[in-house]
Amino acid sequence: MLELLQQSLFSGLLVGSVYALVALGIALTFGAMKIINLAHGELVLLAAYMAYVIESRTGWNPYAAIPLAFALTGIVSVVIYLLIERIREHRELNSLILTFAIGIILTNAILLVFASDVRSTGSPFLQDAVSFGPVYAMKGEITAFIISLAVMAGLWWWLKNSWYGRAVRAVSSNRDAAKLMGIDPRRVELAAFIVAGILASVAGVALYTMSVVQPALGPGLTIKAFIVAVLAGVGSIPGVFCAALLLGVTEAMTVTLASSALQELVGMVLFLLVLFFMPNGLFGARARRG
């Protein structure tokens, strides 16, 4: 039994790191603009398919696709921002419906271009098994975990030290005050969307290397990411990371202790409980102030 629990803890952590990558993009744009980008899952999927294109055409490692994937997701992310900008009334709710519509468009565009076949990496290196004492993983999962950590550290540094990063935080915590300080919120929001695009491109490639992708995956990714963002309490990167790992581990433990048929149920119930009883999330004490 102990061995079972060790392995599912480990597997859960690895899966959680990819949830974290996907969720960070949603959390970032939500923080900066108070807008939930429901097309974020499709952005991630778009990047995953770019990894497929690069790998199947050139035989390179899928991670070589990140620049191309970023170019694409970055452009789409900016387009989404520019469209949201055009909404005049009830921006909070109408943007929800708009990004949802963009999600439908992207899903079907992927379906039109790539058909409904399932895709995943063929790289022998990434699929290779590796063990750490009693627990096992695919090398692709370990790679994704390390890259996820690195990206998160990079994002944390950016938010803390760069002018734009600090501006994003300022706008997130108090938009009007930030305006008075001479920050143009539009530029900051745009920056947030571009960074969300970068995050989506890395997340997509990581997803492709450790899991299986197909066109219908987008909405599910968005929902998982949103669950993580709510658990975290929007606003803190370590919070998002911890919440994502928590979700991953909870799912894996549900599979081990009960049945996989119930794993989504547990995630959803956790989500609702936190939403109702801990409106600031598990890790964000000061998150939703302002």
Partner 1 sequence: MIRRNCLATACLAATLAFAASARAEDITIGAHMPLTGSLARSGQAFNEGMQVALRVFNESQSKHRIKVTVIDDESQPAKAVTAVEKLSSDGAAAIIGGYGSNIVGPASDTSNRLGKVYITGGAVSDELVQRGNKNFFRINNNAGYQRGVEGLIEEVKPNGVSIIASTKEAPMLLAKGLEESLAKKGYKVTLHPFDPAITDFKPIINKVKLQDKSEIIFMSAYENDYVGIIRAAKVLKPPVKAIVGAWSLATPKMYSDFPDLMQNVIGTTFLPFPVEVKDEEGRKFAAVYKEMFGKEIEYASTLAFVETMVLSEALARSADAGTLKSGGLLAEMKTTNRPSPLGRITFNEVGDNPNFALSMGQHRDGKIPLVSPAEFATGKLAYPAVPW
Partner 2 sequence: MRSLPALLILAVAIAVPIAFGGNSYVMGLMVSALIVAGVALAWALLGNLGGMVSFGHAAFFGVGAYTSAILSAKFGLPVPLALLAGACGAALCSIVMLPALRLSGPYFALAILAYAHIFKILATEATSITGGSAGFQRFPPLPTVLGLDLSSRVGSYGLLVVLVALCAAIYLAVKRSHVGTALRAMAESEDATRVVGVNATLLKAWMLLLSAFITGLFGAMNAHIINFLEPDYAFSASWSILPIIAAIFGGYRTILGPVAGAVLIYLFDQIIAKELLPVGHEILLGVLLAGMILIAPNGLFGMFQRKATKGAAHAAA
Residue numbers at the binding site for partner 2 (CB under 8 A): 36, 83, 86-90, 92-94, 96-98, 100-105, 107-109, 111-112, 219, 223, 226-227, 230, 261-262, 264-265, 268-269, 271-272, 275-276
The token pair that represents 41 in the structure block: 């899952």
Residues engaged in binding partner 1 (CB under 8 A)? 3-4, 7-8, 11-12, 14-15, 111, 115-120, 122, 124, 127, 129, 136-138, 211-212, 214, 216, 220, 252, 255-256, 259-264
> Minimum CB separation from partner 2 for residue 263, in Å?
9
> Minimum CB separation from partner 2 for residue 83, in Å?
6
> Minimum CB separation from partner 2 for residue 275, in Å?
6
Beta strand segments in 100-238, E: 129-132, 135-138
Residues 6+ apart with CB under 8 A from 128: 138, 139
> Minimum CB separation from partner 2 for residue 78, in Å?
16
Among partner 2, partner 1, none, the one that 252 touches (CB under a kind-dependent 5 to 8 A) is: partner 1
Amino acid at 176: D
The closest of 195, 211, 188 to 151, measured between CA atoms, is 195
Report the DSSP pairing between strands 135-138 and 129-132: antiparallel
Among partner 2, partner 1, none, the one that 94 touches (CB under a kind-dependent 5 to 8 A) is: partner 2
Among partner 2, partner 1, none, the one that 104 touches (CB under a kind-dependent 5 to 8 A) is: partner 2
Distance from C-alpha of 5 to C-alpha of 288, rounded to nearest angstrom: 34
Q: Which residues of 200-214 are buried (b: 16+ CB within 10 A; e: fewer)?
A: bbbbbbbbbbbbebb
